C-alpha cells in the first residue's frame, strides 16, 4: 500500500467487516509538514472541508480528511453508528498512517469524534484539538443536563428523515447555512446544491442512526480528559447546534480552551465565514 502511486486516487483503509464485504474508510492525504486530521459533520463528507484544505496546505500543513463510515466515498454498512466505533475507526486511520504530533479538527458531529478519541485513547499523538460548530459537551436535555435540547426536536429530525430524506435535507441545509440571511452573499444556490448532493448520497441507515449518536452521547467526561491546547469556534446564529448549549459551555469542561465566537454566523460557517475561520485555524495549528 505504501509508495503506491494509485493510493492518492482512491485511498482507503479497512476498519471492519459486514457479512461478505469489508468496511472501508476513504481518505485523502495531501501536502507535507505538520499533520492535521479533519473530521466532517453530519450528513456530509470530507468534501465539505473544501475551503479549509486549500488554506491549510498553503500554510504548510499535511492535511488528512476522511469520510466517516456511511458517508461520502466510505463503505455504507448498517452497523457501527456510535461514537465508540467512530473513535475506533479514527484510531485505526491515524495508526495506519503513523501520524504523530497532529492537530485534530472536528466540525459539528465531528467534534464528537475529537472528544471521544481523546477521552478513549489520550493525547500521546495529538498536539491540538479544535471544535467547530461542534456537538459537545452534551446536546440532549436530561435531568442532569437541563441546558440541553428537548428530545422531541431530535425525534422530529428522525421522523423527517424516515418520511422523505431528500426533502428533509433541503430544509435542513437551509437552516444549516441560514440561507434566508446569507443567500447570494455568503452562500449560493449552487453551494447549497453541492452539499445536498453530498448528503443525499449518504447511507440512509447511517443518516438516521447518527441522529441518535450525536444527540444522546454525553461527552462531558471525555472533555475533562483533554490535556492539549484546544480551540472552540462557533457562530452565534447557529440553528443546528445552538451556541448556548454547546460552545459556550466548553470552557467549563476543557480548562484553558480558547473560545472564538463568530457573530451572526450559521452552523455551516466553514463555508460562509471561511475567510474569518481559516486564519484562526492555521495560526492555532502552527
Q: How far is CA 122 from CA 117, 141, 225, in A?
A: 7, 28, 8
User: CA 214 to CA 38: how far, in whole Å?
Assistant: 17
d(CA 3, CA 145): 49
The answer to whether the beta carbons of residues 276 and 262 sit under 8 Å apart is yes
Sheet holding 61-66, edge to edge: 11-18, 21-30, 61-66, 34-39, 102-107, 126-132, 230-235, 258-262
CB-based contacts of 21: which residues, under 8 Å, 6+ apart? 75
Cβ contacts of residue 104 below 8 Å, gap of 6+?
A: 37, 39, 114, 117, 118, 126, 128, 129, 130
Q: Is 39 helix (H, G, I), strand (E, B) or coil?
A: strand
Q: Which residues are catalytic?
A: 108, 238, 267
Q: Could you give the CA distance from residue 156 to residue 186 in angstroms, rounded to a whole number?
A: 29
Cis before 137? omega within 30: yes
User: Cell numbers 471561511 label which residue?
Assistant: 274
**How does 3-14 read in b/e, with b if 16+ C-beta sit within 10 Å?**
eeeeeeeebbbe
Amino acid at each position: 500500500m505504501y509508495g503506491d502511486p494509485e493510493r492518492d486516487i482512491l485511498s482507503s483503509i479497512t476498519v471492519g467487516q459486514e457479512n461478505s464485504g469489508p468496511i472501508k474508510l476513504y481518505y485523502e492525504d495531501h501536502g507535507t509538514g505538520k499533520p492535521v486530521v479533519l473530521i466532517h459533520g453530519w450528513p456530509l463528507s470530507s468534501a465539505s472541508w473544501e475551503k479549509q484544505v486549500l488554506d491549510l496546505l498553503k500554510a504548510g500543513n499535511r492535511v488528512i480528511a476522511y469520510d466517516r463510515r456511511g458517508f461520502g466515498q466510505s463503505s455504507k454498512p448498517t452497523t457501527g453508528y456510535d461514537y465508540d466505533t467512530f473513535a475506533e475507526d479514527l484510531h485505526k486511520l491515524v495508526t495506519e498512517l503513523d501520524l504523530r504530533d497532529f492537530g485534530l479538527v472536528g466540525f459539528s458531529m465531528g467534534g464528537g469524534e475529537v472528544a471521544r478519541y481523546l477521552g478513549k485513547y489520550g493525547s500521546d499523538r495529538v498536539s491540538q484539538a479544535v471544535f467547530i460548530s461542534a456537538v459537545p459537551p452534551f446536546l440532549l436535555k436530561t435531568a442532569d443536563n437541563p441546558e440541553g435540547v428537548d428530545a422531541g426536536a431530535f425525534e422530529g429530525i428522525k421522523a423527517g428523515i424516515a418520511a422523505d430524506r431528500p426533502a428533509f435535507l433541503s430544509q435542513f441545509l437551509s437552516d444549516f447555512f441560514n440561507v434566508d440571511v446569507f443567500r447570494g452573499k455568503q452562500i449560493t444556490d449552487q453551494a447549497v446544491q453541492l452539499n445536498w448532493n453530498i448528503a443525499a448520497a449518504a447511507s440512509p441507515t447511517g443518516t438516521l442512526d447518527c441522529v441518535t449518536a450525536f444527540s444522546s452521547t454525553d461527552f462531558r467526561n471525555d472533555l475533562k480528559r483533554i490535556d492539549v491546547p484546544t480551540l472552540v469556534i462557533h457562530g452565534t446564529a447557529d440553528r443546528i447546534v445552538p451556541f448556548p448549549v454547546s460552545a459556550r459551555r466548553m470552557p467549563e469542561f476543557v480548562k484553558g480552551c480558547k473560545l472564538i465566537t463568530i457573530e451572526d454566523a450559521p452552523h455551516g460557517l466553514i463555508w460562509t465565514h471561511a475567510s474569518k475561520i481559516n486564519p484562526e485555524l492555521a495560526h492555532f495549528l502552527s
